[in-house]
Amino acid sequence: MDEVSPPVGIPLEDWRATPQSVQVLLLALLDDIGILKAKLNQTSQNSSKPPSSDPPSAPPRPQKVPHGRNRGGQVGHQGSTRERREPDEIIECRPTECPACHSALPLDLPDAQDVVVTQVWELPLLRPIVTDYHQHSVCCPSCAARVTAPAPPDASSGYGVRATALCAHLHGSYHLSFRAIADLLSDSAELPIGLSSVVSCCGRLSTARAPIDAALHTALQTETVVNVDETSWRESRKRCWLWTATSASLTVLRIASGRGRASLDLLLDETYQGIVSSDRWNAYNRYPDDQRQLCWAHLKRNVRALAEGQMPESRWADSLLEQIHSLFLAWHRFRDGKTDRAGLQEALVPIQQAIRSELRTGQSKRWHKIVTLSNDLLAHWPALWTFGRVEGVEPTNNAAERVLRPAVIWRKQCFGTHCAEGSRFVERILSVVTTCRQQKRNVWSFLTEAITAARFGLPAPALLPSP
């Protein structure tokens, strides 16, 4: 049996004099201690924990490199100004006294220069428009039956389409509670509405968005590149998972009971032919490696955890972190237009060679985490470099994580949903709101169109990207 190297701090002569059974036990105990220390040292920079959970002893987050520029707009920056519209009212302001000699100025003096226009925007006094529908009843002259005129569709719920859409918009887009929505509408718009009515408005809009959500899901299967991710969710005190798939022009979310491939089927078909960008969760392994892009941001975090693991072999991860840093430098140069795709691929060649060499070395290490990571990355080697050859693919999965961030905040505020209907509302409102933001469409206007179409039996408005 090959001689095992002694742990750090134990002389080689003493180690050789130690019985083999004691050596094995000591090495196992040291491994366990290292694993426990690594768990204690977990922060948002080397694990999936959020930054808010970092203890005071956590290392400071890396600071941005000072760029030497002052705060605010830079020289040559084209600022954005408010658009000028046709005014609803014009108020003429004429000087009445000279500030130099205090002489009175006639109002009919001609203008000495062009009129200075100052435009002020103000909200109108918000008051609800209350409409009474008088449903008359008459007796039929033929059969003497009493006939009452039916109420129109807009009178079916007690609140109009804009009020209904606004309730769902405030809850789904801005994550206000039902009570906060009722208080806001009462204070700002003199619109009295109860908590149950707010819930009913959200339910009606969820039903109206069902065909829109289905059309988005169908269109997602034809996108060339999608970013997929998942996070935990709670439904009726049970642990579920919120999945998202986002492309450049649309987003779809689903809440499923599990985190396996069956739940992924609810979001993305197994026959999907585009590029899937994700982390290394095994549910995504059903797609071939040349059709995937593994997230380098996740990998950097995993490797950093190994480097800070306080194990004898943790130094192996330091050189790998240097190569990952070089990879992102090459990508940022390409993203900023400082080089073309051929230049990016050329810069990646030595990085690929160095990383492959480090991973092969990692396969022979004692620490099982290094061995597992090395074997996994070498097994899915092509999936690490798709961003270098396919247009529109990034080396990270940040696009999907940005979609999930509002959902995570909502989950922390409301602790999930209480029923399946609430989960469907979350799926549909987040899908529609995120897609509207991607397409630069007004969310409230679109929600109003959706509830109007559902209430009057019209076709649902389209939210599909332009071909």
pLDDT at residue 30, as a whole number: 72
Pairing of the two strands 251-256 and 238-246: antiparallel
pLDDT tens digits, one per residue of 88-129: 889 988 888 888 888 888 888 887 788 888 888 888 888 888
Mutual orientation of helices 443-455 and 195-220 as an angle, nearest 10°? 100
Judged by DSSP in three states, 241 sits in strand
Tell me the CB-side half-sphere exposure of residue 9, using CA atoms within 13 A. 2
Give the rounded distance of the alpha carbon of 372 from its chain centre. Answer: 30
Q: Identify each DSSP E strand in 285-428 by its residue range.
A: 292-294
Could you write out the DSSP letters of every residue in 34-103? HHHHHHHT--TTTSS--GGG--TTSPPPPPPPP--PPSSPPTT-----PPP---S--------B-TTT--
- Please name the residues in contact with 37: beta carbons below 8 A apart, sequence gap of 6 or more: 309, 310
pLDDT at residue 330, as a whole number: 92
Give the span between the Cα atoms of 74 and 239, in whole angstroms. 48
Amino acid at 220: L
Judged by DSSP in three states, 237 sits in coil
Residue 294 per-residue DSSP state:
E
Give the span between the Cα atoms of 192 and 183, in whole angstroms. 8
Pairing of the two strands 275-278 and 251-256: unpaired
CB atoms within 10 A of CB 338: 9
User: Is the C-alpha dihedral spanning 96, 101, 102, 105 positive or negative?
Assistant: negative
The model scores a pTM over 0.85: no
pLDDT tens digits, one per residue of 165-222: 898 899 888 888 889 999 999 888 888 988 888 888 888 888 888 888 888 888 899 8
Give the span between the Cα atoms of 11 and 377, in whole angstroms. 36
> Phi, psi at residue 275, to the nearest 5°?
-90, 130
- pLDDT interval class at 68 (50, 70, 90): low
C-alpha pair distances (Å), 48 with each of 307, 363, 401: 16, 24, 12
- Please name the residues in contact with 223: beta carbons below 8 A apart, sequence gap of 6 or more: 247, 248, 249, 250, 274
Query: Do residues 182 and 194 lie in contact, with contact meaning Cβ atoms separated by under 8 Å?
Result: yes
- pLDDT interval class at 140 (50, 70, 90): confident
pLDDT tens digits, one per residue of 224-267: 999 999 988 888 888 899 999 999 889 999 988 888 888 888 88
Judged by DSSP in three states, 217 sits in helix
- Please name the residue that has the structure tokens 């920079």: 45
Ramachandran sector of residue 232 (left: φ over 0; alpha: ψ -120 to 50; beta: rest): beta
**Is residue 85 over pLDDT 80?**
yes
pLDDT tens digits, one per residue of 258-273: 888 888 888 888 888 8
> Phi, psi at residue 239, to the nearest 5°?
-75, 125
Over range 143-172, report the average pLDDT: 85
Higher-confidence residue of 285 and 16: namely 285
pLDDT at residue 328, as a whole number: 92
Which two tokens mark 345? 């691929």
Higher-confidence residue of 77 and 418: namely 418
Give the span between the Cα atoms of 344 and 332, in whole angstroms. 10
Percentages (nearest 5) of helix, strand, coil residues in the chain = 45, 10, 45
Across 41-55, 56-70, 152-166, 243-257, which has the greatest mean pLDDT?
243-257
